[in-house]
Amino acid sequence: MLFTHMVELESHDLSELLKATSDPTRRIILTLLAQHGPLRVTQIATHFDMSLNSVSKHIKMLERAGLVLRRTEWREHLIEIQMDRLKLVDRWFEDLRSIWALRLEALDNLITKETANDTDNN
């Protein structure tokens, strides 16, 4: 069956991903990482008017969503963005658009057919 994977397969991962990106602070963190490459937690925290702990928690959420990878080198934790992970969201959006397009297409076919019938009847 087409589009089956949308319904429940990957659903939990997708929810985590979308929830993780739905917070402005976390989106800024992702932007920083895309701009500057891997950063330490404290480096990231300097960009916010917020306790280090809160930033740490945000990073942990990004980590759980797989949007970020932690390479613990020495005492420092290097946080690295995982761009590939975004594809999962992309795919869901594409699927939704496909479903939508399919319906419009069917609708269009129906109208064309009816118009043909109309001309038959005239």
Partner DNA sequence: CTATCAATCAACCAATTGGATGAATGATAT
Partner DNA sequence: ATATCATTCATCCAATTGGTTGATTGATAG
- Binding residues for DNA, per CB under 7 A? 19, 22-23, 25, 40-43, 49-54, 56-61, 70, 74-77
Q: How far apart are CA 51 and CA 49, in angstroms?
A: 7
Residue 3 has phi, psi (to 5 degrees) of: 65, 10
- Among a copy of itself, DNA, none, the one that 42 touches (CB under a kind-dependent 5 to 8 A) is DNA
* Least distance to DNA, CB of residue 31, Å: 15
* Least distance to a copy of itself, CB of residue 50, Å: 16
Q: Which residues lie below 8 Å from residue 79, measured CB to CB, with a gap of 6+?
A: 33, 38, 39, 40, 41, 44, 59, 68, 69, 70
* Least distance to DNA, CB of residue 29, Å: 10
